[in-house]
């Protein structure tokens, strides 16, 4: 059985919902009988998705909205529009994200856009939607899409890593706040995808790599772990099992505890030590 919030008649709002994990989630929620609002910056894609979802649910159960989540005003307008159209929000999935690539000393506009969408988009969504979700007095979910790169912060894409590290810290603080708010029945959850084949990760490829999961596999896993009550929804994929993810994350934390150089996993002086650590039971 899915989480009780994922139920017929309840309302789900998904940002970045016109493709990838967001679209897979919207489809799964619609199949469960939920009313769905898909928010995205791609107006043409939104129209296509609305037509596609009509094969899953009634057109009256689908709402679309062109939204730039980095702008609080846009998100405020979205929250009001969902309330007017569907009566309120039961599930908010802050999923919109971009990964155009970044360098440490690259263009500041690129950094600001990545952090604006990936981090501020989630902060805006939670801060603007949560008060009215709490006030309704019903059970609800806020799911924020993070990344393993926000935990192990590998070299190569610093702006993305910074944005997703911020998502992790914010979502932890959000859940702490929610569980200490009187008469609040809303819970927050951090989705941590593995290697998922989407437009974000395709990088010119047209066929899914063997090591990747599909967005649908990721959402199925997410729904199962929501039902189990997980806060950290750490997704494996076809290449990396949970045990290896755990080792990588423990090693990253160990850089501080052991006073190693930052990102020592990629430091030649620590290559053998990391390999030994991974092999240890």
Catalytic residue among 86, 111, 129, 160: 160
Q: Are 102 and 160 in contact (CB under 8 A)?
A: yes
Placement of tokens 């990253």 in the chain = 252
Three-state DSSP state, 215: helix
Three-state DSSP state, 36: strand
Cα 126 to Cα 275: distance, rounded to the nearest angstrom: 39
Q: Are 165 and 158 in contact (CB under 8 A)?
A: no
Pairing status of strand 140-145 against strand 186-192: parallel
> 96: buried, middle or exposed (CB in 10 Å: 19+, 13-18, 0-12)?
buried
The dihedral through the CA atoms of 72, 73, 77, 78 has a sign that is negative
Placement of tokens 């998922």 in the chain = 196
Structure tokens at 258: 């052991």
Distances (CA, A) of 45 to 52, 59, 95: 10, 16, 16
Three-state DSSP state, 121: helix
> 109: buried, middle or exposed (CB in 10 Å: 19+, 13-18, 0-12)?
exposed
Placement of tokens 């009988």 in the chain = 33
Mark whether 160 is an active-site residue: yes
Cα 112 to Cα 121: distance, rounded to the nearest angstrom: 12
Q: What residues are labeled active site?
A: 160
């Amino acid at each position: 059985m899915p989480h009780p919030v994922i139920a017929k008649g309840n309302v789900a709002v998904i940002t970045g919902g016109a493709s990838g994990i967001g679209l897979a989630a919207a489809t799964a929620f619609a199949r469960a009988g939920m009313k769905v609002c898909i928010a995205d910056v791609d107006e043409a894609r939104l129209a296509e998705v609305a037509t596609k979802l009509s094969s899953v649910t009634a057109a009256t159960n689908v709402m679309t909205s062109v939204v730039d989540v980095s702008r609080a005003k846009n998100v405020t307008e979205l929250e009001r529009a969902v309330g007017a159209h569907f009566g309120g929000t039961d599930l908010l999935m802050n999923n919109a994200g971009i990964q155009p690539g970044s360098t440490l000393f690259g263009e500041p506009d690129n950094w600001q856009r990545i952090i604006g969408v990936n981090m501020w988009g989630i902060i805006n969504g939670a801060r603007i939607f949560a008060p009215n979700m709490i006030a309704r007095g019903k059970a609800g979910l806020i799911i924020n899409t993070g990344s393993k790169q926000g935990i192990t912060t590998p070299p190569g894409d610093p702006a993305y890593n910074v944005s997703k590290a911020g998502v992790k810290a914010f979502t932890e603080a959000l859940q702490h706040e929610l569980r200490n708010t009187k008469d609040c029945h809303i819970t927050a959850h951090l989705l941590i995808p593995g290697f998922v084949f989407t437009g974000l990760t395709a990088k010119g490829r047209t066929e899914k790599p063997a090591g990747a999961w599909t967005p649908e596999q990721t959402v199925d896993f997410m729904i199962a772990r929501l039902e189990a009550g997980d806060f950290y929804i750490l997704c494996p994929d076809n290449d990396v099992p949970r045990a290896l993810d755990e080792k990588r994350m423990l090693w990253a934390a160990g850089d501080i505890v052991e006073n190693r150089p930052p990102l020592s996993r990629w430091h030649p002086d620590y290559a053998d030590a990391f390999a030994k650590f991974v092999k240890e039971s």
